[in-house]
Structure 1
Amino acid sequence: MPISPTYPGVYIEEVRGGVRTITGVATSITAFIGRALRGPVDKPITINSFADFERTFGGLWSGSALGFAVRDFYANGGSQAIIVRLYRAESGTGAKPAVPQLNANNLVLEAAEPGSWGNQLRARIEAVDPAIAAEVAPALGVGPTDLFTLLLRDMKTGAEQMFRNVTTVESARRVDRILANESLLMRVKTLAAPTAHGAPAAGKTVWEDNNASDGVAAADQASDGQDLNEESFTGAGKEAAKQGLYALEQADLFNLLCLPPYKSSSGIANQDVDATLVGAAAVYCEKRRAMLIVDPPSNWDDKGDAKSGVGAVGTRSKNAALYFPRLVQPNPLRNGQLEQVSPCGAVAGILARTDATRGLWKAPAGLDATITGAVGLSVNLTDGENGELNPLGINCLRAMPPSGLVVWGARTLQGDDRLASEWKYLPVRRTALFIEESLYRGTQWVVFEPNDEPLWAQIRLNIGAFMQNLFRQGAFQGKTPAEAYFVKCDKETTTQHDINLGIVNIVVGFAPLKPAEFVIIKIQQMAGQIQA
């Protein structure tokens, strides 16, 4: 606030400089949506390694392509991923429940998450030492006999949890609230005071003796659900409830979206994604300023299938990129049998690796864009066949000795030459999305500021500094900043009518780097030293 001088002397007043640094957002956070063995449902969980995926979601599973896509993502250079697990319960006569439950001496518990993993849970009730109970109970406002100790164990993984001095009586240690906040294994379904289990029989542990602990009865065992369908992603009410595809509304930021194939019950091979879901996902990616990586249908057996089928993949969005063919990998769950898998996870990993080493303005393709973990391709393409597919906006995966398997295309699905789109190239589109998201987040402070030249000058200063930093990193064309970008915010962009409406208009332009897709070398034979 302004200083009011009252005595002769020197006064110090700090004046704001108007510098508000704009930080570039992350560029390769990849979202994966699909089935998993375990884990929270319809909730985005951030992981940083495949080990995190194994701990939280159960690892590879023959019933879903999700784990294989996440594994390929990290094998090819991925860093941070967001996993959304979906679960479709069984229906009809004889359907098993989604969540298993067990009765621990009158206290009915259920697994924390759906799936058959919970069938291996066991629980044990132990009495609290009378001396300890007499000391703790008064502070909680309960009787000493109301307290007990609850032990939980996952017999498959060996994970155990112990909750001391819990009770079913209203207090700070009521067991249902404790489990809801702290347990990774179970929740309380029916709150009733339990009795303590007995000691195990000689030679047995408490988890091996049914008198010393309780497990899930056969009639209460759950299943891993049915194969997903399009309704699992975008069904009625999903968007409003932030479930399925729209569970990503609960995530702050993601840059890439992968939908591992799900339309099959025959294992990983020959799975697909509904074309209408691809279209809905592309629309959602445009809304969230993200890119959708589209897998080729499993029935594309040659370049002819790709040429005739590209129009039916479900989208022609500038925020989507299609890669063909599928990868061939050994399946560790089937003794190393070779199977076709979708390339989306591997491609997302390569995009993340390229962003980290070269920047997102570098096309994620070429001899450096090698694919790790695959031993072959479902279709081996020649240069001529690649030349037929590339102009249609189909990014090809190629075997290129000595580099091996590589990504050999960097176009969006608007990369068809006939569309003449300005968003033809993937790095150009991703650079624009990066700038958009960074400026969107970095200019929030402008809201409610006085809309006049001092504000416009600050906007030009801060956005200009951000764009200049990108120019110095080599993100734009041009030898000088004036050739590479411009930032305009003044009385020409914001008229008095706009000011009266509370609007400030900012115009930012940049000259994108476009990949050297075709390298032409001209060679001629010298005619000798002929004197003119």
Structure 2
Amino acid sequence: MPEYLSPGVYVEETSYRAKSIEGVATSTAGFVGQSRFGPTTGAPTLVTSFEDYQRYFGDDADLLLGGTPTINHLAHAVRLFFMNGGARVYISRIASPPGGGTLEDITAASAPLVTSAGNVVLRARYPGLAGNLRVRAQALRSGNLRVVQSGTPTVTGVQPGDVLEVSTGAAAKNRIVRGSTAPAGSPGDLLTTDPAQLAAVSFDSNNRPVLTAQTGVVDLATVTFAQKVSLALSVEPNGDGTTGSRTDVLQNLSAHPDSAQFVGTVLRTEDWSIPVEAPSDRSNRIWFDIPLLSDTATDRAEFAAGLLRALVDGSPFALTGGGDGIAATATVFSGGGSGHDARGLAALADRDDIAIVAAPGSAALADADDRQAVRDALIAHCTSLKYRFAVLAGDQGADASSIREVRGMHDSSYAALYYPWLVVPATSGPRDTIQLSPEGAVIGAYARTDIERGVHKAPANETVFGTLRFSRSVNKGEQDVLNPEGINCLRFFEGRGNLIWGARTMSSDLEWIYVNVRRLFIYLEHSIDRGTQWAVFEPNNEQLWLKIRLTIESFLYDAWRSGALMGTKPEQAYFVRCDRTTMSQSDLDNGRLICLIGVAPTKPAEFVIFRIGQWTAEASII
């Protein structure tokens, strides 16, 4: 209760409406698989387009696994996901080094740069053949920054940590300018700088710039001119076709550790133990391994001068030694760990907004036990977390008999199996077409249906975009056998195209045989779970029970109006009970609030039957 301790007017805010429940997202996917580059531990990476995926994980060119070119299933699945209507997908990349080695064994690295503080090593950020890059470094200078104000020389337009080239007297004429013999050159010219002419910028207590070189503080009165030297790095393909065609250019970097644009800060490792203000950019493909630096201003200035000189004179640098490793096993797909050490499927568990999961490429594993184990891991993942659904695929060459064997190994309402594979145009390499497992395209159709119609609509009778044909032609006779067993067929219909022609889960329980029914309940349960967290530790009495009922009934009423529930009236669609009939005194004494909710979901019109008979004008219809 508020306190009123003195006479006066008190204005208070109060709410007379029930708290609302916001429906959770149902179209966000989570994929785990092998790619050409990208992070392999920690939180999964959210991508919102295929171009976004390429920025983090490389293109869709083949992986070289164990020396054998292998289709990049994850990249193609992501491309088909967005082509079929997907909007958001989290990627958890896995990598498997050969011979029981570590990921460092397949991570490229350059030769070290020798500086006054020790070796600075330029490294590829992640494992992968796409980490074998070429890095070019350029040093660029600005115009003259030295001015004389009221007889006092100073420099303008500088920030702490900027590196300046300062010249005095004859030294100005001896400056080395690449491609030119002019004594000064022009702003923006490339240069090779004498480290003795470089100074770092700091500010004194009066906010005046102080220049410190490796020999100590520079007397501005002796300086003829001062020019800012910035560093530009170009990260390029290595030229042999294994790293794609992407080139990244990073400009306005500094070689001094006190600068906000210090190359070692902008391009740093994902070491979460390092206290930095912002996390590193996962899209950067390289990072600088820098030794512990001295706190002395002259030592740091000397380090900056040496690093700048080493980068410019040693350019270009070739990063070699990276590889794609070998094909992952079921254990690698499942992953493990938590937080920043999470890997594989376990990394997806930390993202609460993922609603659909798949492991593109797992159906192409050489070992049948591995293929089954990955499917089991996906089902167990969704069953334990409750609020997500798995999309599975059979073997590449499966026929009706073998896909039934795959289906017979699993029984779950939290997963659906799709058959057969897709034949799509090859985007790289010598092949015209490639075969892909259908998870990416199917989950894209899930997302498209959710966005356009709602999660209660069965994700079937939907076009599969980006597909030339299916690897096998399924006819009605075959589907008559496969559909009752919970195998969703992909079929071609002349005049209508390639369609998803099934919406069944892998459950033997007739209550949960439809994909849309299970996903509708996931949506309702997750939304109510999140939307009623405010009730925890509230007084467990009739007022709270009434608020709970009103909150949930309002949410279910909106679901009924959207067509998700059966019934011509709300009373026929759902009920909510939260009172003495749902809780005993023991429940109240133990702090339990129990709410009973019943909903009548709409099930798909899987069998549309029209009964037609002959009648005459004189006949009566019974």
TM-score, normalisation: structure 2:
0.74
Partner residue, 2:593: 504
Distance 1:159 1:331 in 2: 26
Contact 1:73 1:348 in 2 (8 A): yes
Cα distance change on mapping 1:149 and 1:90 into 2, 3 Å: farther
Higher RCO (Cα < 8 Å, 6 or more apart): 2
Q: Do residues 34 (structure 1) and 33 (structure 2) align?
A: yes
Tell me whether 1:4 sits opposite 2:4 in the alignment. Answer: yes
Alignment-mate amino acid for residue 371 of structure 1:
V
- Counterparts in 2 of 1:340 and 1:291: CA distance versus 1, 3 Å: same
Taking the TM superposition and a 5 Å limit, the aligned residue runs for 1:65-104 are: 65-91=73-99, 97-102=105-110, 103-104=112-113
Matched, 1:433 2:522: yes
**TM-fit CA distance, 1:464:** 0.9
Counterpart AA for 1:53? Y
For residue 310 of structure 1, give the secondary structure of its aligned residue in structure 2: helix
The secondary structure found in structure 1 opposite 2:87 is: coil
Mapped contact 2:358–2:378 kept (Cα < 8 A)? no
Q: What is the distance in 1 between the residues matched to 2:98 and 2:406?
A: 33
Counterpart amino acid of residue 245 in structure 1: L
Structure 1 CA distance for aligned equivalents of residues 104 and 571 of structure 2:
66
Per the TM alignment, residue 528 of structure 1 is displaced from its structure 2 partner at its CA by 5.8
Question: Is 1:488 aligned to residue 569 of structure 2?
Answer: no
Query: 1:328 is paired with a residue of what secondary structure?
Result: strand
The change in CA–CA distance for 1:144 and 1:248 in structure 2 (over 3 A counts) is farther
Deviation at 1:237, TM superposition (A): 5.1
Q: Match of 1:310?
A: 407
Deviation at 1:340, TM superposition (A): 1.8
Query: Could you tell me the percent identity over the aligned residues?
Result: 34
Q: Are 2:345 and 1:245 aligned?
A: yes
Q: Which amino acid is the alignment partner of residue 329 of structure 1?
A: V
The answer to whether structure 1 residue 278 and structure 2 residue 375 are counterparts is yes
Superposed CA deviations along residues 125-156 of structure 1, whole A, max 9, x for unmatched, are 75931459453376999944499855432112
SS in 1 for 2:441: helix
Give the CA deviation at 1:317.
1.2
Alignment partner of 2:267 out of 179, 193, 202: 179
User: Where in structure 2 are there 5+ consecutive unaligned residues?
Assistant: 64-71, 141-162, 167-197, 217-227, 238-245, 269-278, 294-302
Secondary structure of the residue that 1:101 maps to in structure 2?
coil
Q: What residue is the counterpart of 1:109 in the other structure?
A: 122
Structure 2: distance between partners of 1:338 and 1:371: 16
Partner residue of 1:413? 506
| Cα distance change, pair 51–174 in 1 and its aligned pair in 2 (3 A) | closer
Q: Which residue of 2 aligns with 1:475?
A: 564
Shift of 1:307: 2.7
Q: Distance in 1 between matches of 2:236 and 2:379?
A: 42
Structure-2 residue corresponding to 1:513: 602
Residues in 1 aligned to 2:88 and 2:541: alpha-carbon distance in whole angstroms: 41
* Count of matched residue pairs: 507
Change (3 A) 1:271 1:310: closer
Q: Which whole-Å CA distance do the structure 1 matches of 2:392 and 2:251 have between them?
A: 45
Partner of 1:385: 478
* Residues 275 and 148 of structure 1, relative CA distance in 2, 3 Å threshold: farther
**In structure 2, do the counterparts of structure 1 residues 530 and 32 end up closer, same or farther at CA, with 3 Å as the change threshold?**
closer
Q: Distance in 2 between matches of 1:379 and 1:33?
A: 26
Q: Is the strand fraction higher in 1 or 2?
A: 2
Give the CA deviation at 1:443.
0.8
In structure 1, what is the equivalent of residue 318 of structure 2? 216
- From 404, 410, 413, give the equivalent of 2:497: 404
Q: Secondary structure at the match of 2:394?
A: coil
- The equivalent of 1:355 in structure 2 is 450
Partner of 1:153: 234
Secondary structure (helix, strand or coil) at the match of 1:97 reads: helix
Gaps of 5+ in 1: 201-205
Please say if residues 201 and 212 of structure 2, whose CA atoms lie closer than 8 Å, have aligned partners that are also in contact: no
Once the two structures are TM-superposed, the CA of residue 91 in structure 1 deviates from its matched residue by 3.0
Give 1:521-532 correspondences, 5 Å limit.
521-527=610-616, 529=618
RMSD: 3.3
Q: CA offset at residue 339 of structure 1?
A: 2.5
Conservation of the 8 A alpha-carbon contact between 1:69 and 1:346:
yes
Q: Which amino acid aligns with 1:185?
A: R
Deviation string, structure 1 residues 474-519 (Cα, Å, up to 9, x no partner): 1100011110001111122122211111111111110000111111
Match of 1:203 in 2: none
Cα distance, 1:182 vs. partner? 4.8
Deviation track 1:369-404 (CA, whole Å, cap 9, x = no partner) reads 011111111111111211111100001111112111
Question: Contact 1:262–1:271 at 8 Å: present in 2 too?
Answer: no
Q: Against the structure 1 CA distance between its residues 197 and 446, is the aligned structure 2 distance closer, same or farther, given a 3 Å change threshold? A: closer
Match of 1:321 among 416, 422, 446: 416
Give the Cα–Cα distance (whole angstroms) in 2 for the partners of residues 134 and 390 of structure 1.
Answer: 73
- Equivalent position SS for 1:155: strand
**Contact 1:3 / 1:13 at 8 angstroms: preserved in 2?**
no
2:384 corresponds in structure 1 to 287
* SS of alignment partner, residue 232 of structure 1: helix
C-alpha distance in 1, partners of 2:132/2:211? 33
The 2-side partners of 1:393 and 1:470 are apart by 27
Higher mean C-alpha displacement, 511-520 vs 125-134: 125-134
Contact 1:46 1:80 in 2 (8 A): yes
Letter in 2 for 1:306: I
Contact kept, 8 Å, 1:229 with 1:263, in 2: the verdict is no
Alignment check: 8 A CA contact 1:124 1:152 kept: yes
**In the TM superposition, what is the alpha-carbon distance from 1:3 to its structure 2 partner?**
6.2
Q: Which moved more, 1:449-458 or 1:37-46?
A: 37-46
Contact 2:86–2:445 (CA under 8 A) maintained in structure 1? yes
3-state SS of 1:422 partner: helix
What is the CA-CA distance between 1:469 and the residue it aligns to?
0.7
Instruction: Give the direction of change, closer, same or farther, for the CA distance of 1:494–1:263 in structure 2 (3 Å limit).
Output: closer
Instruction: From the superposition, tell whether residues 178 and 372 of structure 1 become closer, same or farther in structure 2 (CA, over 3 Å).
Output: closer
Q: CA deviation at 1:271?
A: 10
Q: Does 1:135 align with 2:201?
A: yes
In structure 1, give the amino acid aligned to 2:88: Q
Contact 1:234 1:245 in 2 (8 A): yes
Question: What is the one-letter code of the residue matched to 1:276?
Answer: A
For 2:105 and 2:405, how far apart are their aligned partners in 1?
43
Rounded Cα–Cα distance in structure 1 between residues aligned with 2:595 and 2:437: 41
Contact 1:285 1:291 in 2 (8 A): yes
After TM superposition, give the deviation of residue 163 of structure 1 in Å: 5.7
Q: CA deviation at 1:10?
A: 7.0
Q: State the alpha-carbon separation in 2 of the partners of residues 282 and 341 from structure 1.
A: 21
Is the Cα contact below 8 Å between 1:124 and 1:197 reproduced in 2? no
| Letter in structure 2 aligned against 1:57 | F
